[in-house]
């Protein structure tokens, strides 16, 4: 099975050269033993050296203007590169959050100083970000965040606790959603975003171990941590609107349906070697057709974002359907009975299946649960 086939179908035949270049790069990386394809590599494949090599190719910060170290390329070109990296299970977690949502967010809301400070490092693959939204009592109900930043002269003093903060132990900065004004009962009013550099002496980062024994996310505790007043991202009190803008980028990208694509590709290769039963062929065809439909939807979101619109409802639909598909794919291959799930196996297919089975529960949680996304879709359709 080819990664995700022709760009002519999305009106972008010129992307073929770019895709070829990415595939050649990845083939060379594989041949040199510099990475092993894995499922969910955008969340767990943390490899700063790989990120730096991608940056050297001009494939990070692709849509950042050149004056900030970027490459001024189109979102569609960035989309094509992302698809290739994800479908081939490349270890892109280190830079993923920074490149996906912090670059657009800082470009849209940041001061000139913040743009100069963070964007060149994002494009160079040397500045990584974490997202500090969720709290122990504020996940789906994000507007109830209690972490507070109090203005004190030229500083903010931050207190509170964030949780499930992916990569905070490795990131150079975190985008923090916190209350700067009013009370928790004010909900969306009075929330702001801060760019907090890490590590920080008064910010404690405690690892949380997940079911596969790895520790990718954290509890992050702010002990009256002082950061400069210039850490404010965008406008004080506008944090909620800014976060909603960011979430459209966070929810709609190709990673929301391609996390387990390396597993599907490996399974398809195995079937072509061993021969497939009619039932297995049918399963492969069904999964491929679903991936294709999701891809068209995701591309639509990308083009809406490019046009400066806010496709929140479509982004929620893509993530709901896409993350459901990612899990269905794992279950379909597992129940096809030809592959055993074995963590640490020398057989990449067995290893990837094991990794995917263990990761499946998170697909429909991270970035907003499916129940919440369906609420957004229902409201968008006018259902009360």
Catalytic residues, which ones? Answer: 250
Q: Considering the rule CB under 6 A, would residue 363 count as an interface residue with ligand FAD?
A: no
Of 63 and 360, which has the nearer Cβ to ligand FAD?
A: 360
The secondary structure of 42-57, three-state, reads HHHCCCHHHHHHHHHC
What separation in angstroms does the CA of 175 have from each of 72, 102, 110?
24, 8, 12
Structure tokens at 132: 């500090």
Among candidates 190, 180, 185, which has minimal Cα distance to 160? 180
Length of the chain: 384
Q: Does 291 bind ligand FAD (CB under 6 A)?
A: no
Give dist(CA 159, CA 178) in Å, integer: 9
User: What's the rounded Cα separation, in Å, for the pair 278 and 246?
Assistant: 44
Q: Does 57 sit near ligand FAD (CB under 6 A)?
A: no
**Is 193 an interacting residue with respect to ligand FAD (CB under 6 A)?**
no
Residue 178 β-bridge partners: 192
Nearer to ligand FAD, 130 or 352 (CB): 130
Query: Pattern of binders to ligand FAD over 112-151, x per CB under 6 A?
Result: ------------------xxxxx----xx-----------
3-state secondary structure of 241: helix
- Binding flag, residue 67, ligand FAD (CB under 6 A): no
Of 7 and 320, CB closest to ligand FAD: 320
Of 139 and 184, nearer to ligand FAD (C-beta) is 139
Binding of ligand FAD at residue 362 (CB under 6 A)?
Answer: yes
What mask, x for binding ligand FAD by CB under 6 A, covers residues 215 to 234?
--x-----------------
* Exposure on the CB side of residue 137, measured as CA atoms within 13 A: 6
Q: What span, in angstroms and rounded, lies between the C-alpha atoms of 231 and 225? A: 12
Q: Which residue has the tokens 């002082």?
A: 226
Q: Is 178 in the site for ligand FAD (CB under 6 A)?
A: no
Could you say whether residue 75 binds ligand FAD (CB under 6 A)?
A: no
Nearer to ligand FAD, 23 or 374 (CB): 374
Among the listed residues 51, 109, 127, 165, the single contact to ligand FAD using CB under 6 A = 165
Which residues make up the interface to ligand FAD (CB under 6 A)? 130-134, 139-140, 164-166, 217, 362, 365-369, 371-372, 375
């Amino acid at each position: 099975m080819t990664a995700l086939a022709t760009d002519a179908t999305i009106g972008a035949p010129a992307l073929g050269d770019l895709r070829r270049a990415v595939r050649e790069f990845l083939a060379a990386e594989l041949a040199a033993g510099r990475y092993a394809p894995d499922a969910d590599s955008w969340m767990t494949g943390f490899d700063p050296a790989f990120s730096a090599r991608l940056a050297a190719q001009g494939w990070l910060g692709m849509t950042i203007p050149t004056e900030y170290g970027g490459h001024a390329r189109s979102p569609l070109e960035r989309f094509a590169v992302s698809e290739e990296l994800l479908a081939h299970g490349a270890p892109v977690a280190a830079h993923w959050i920074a490149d996906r949502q912090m670059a657009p967010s800082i470009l849209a809301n940041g001061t000139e100083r913040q743009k100069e400070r963070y964007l060149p490092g994002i494009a160079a693959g040397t500045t990584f970000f974490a997202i500090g939204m969720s709290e122990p009592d504020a996940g789906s109900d994000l507007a109830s965040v209690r972490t507070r930043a109090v203005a004190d002269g030229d500083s903010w003093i931050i207190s509170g606790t964030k949780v499930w903060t992916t990569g905070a132990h490795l990131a150079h900065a975190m985008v923090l959603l916190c209350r700067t004004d009013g009370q928790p009962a004010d909900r969306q009013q009075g929330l702001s975003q801060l760019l907090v550099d890490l590590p920080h002496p008064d910010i404690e980062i405690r690892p949380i171990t997940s079911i596969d024994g790895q520790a990718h996310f954290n509890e992050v505790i702010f002990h009256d941590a002082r950061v400069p007043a210039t850490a404010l991202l965008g406008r004080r009190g506008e944090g909620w609107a800014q976060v909603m803008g960011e979430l459209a980028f966070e929810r709609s990208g190709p990673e929301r349906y391609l996390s387990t694509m390396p597993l599907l590709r490996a399974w398809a290769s195995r079937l072509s070697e061993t021969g497939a039963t009619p039932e297995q062929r049918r399963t492969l065809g069904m999964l491929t057709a679903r991936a294709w439909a999701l891809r068209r939807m995701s591309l639509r979101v990308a083009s809406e974002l490019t046009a400066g619109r806010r496709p929140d409802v479509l982004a929620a639909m893509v993530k709901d359907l896409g993350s459901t598909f990612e899990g269905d794919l794992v279950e379909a291959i597992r129940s096809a009975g030809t592959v055993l799930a074995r963590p640490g196996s020398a057989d990449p297919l067995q290893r990837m299946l094991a990794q995917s089975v263990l990761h499946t529960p998170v697909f429909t949680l991270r970035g907003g649960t499916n129940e919440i996304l369906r609420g957004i879709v229902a409201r968008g359709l006018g259902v009360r």
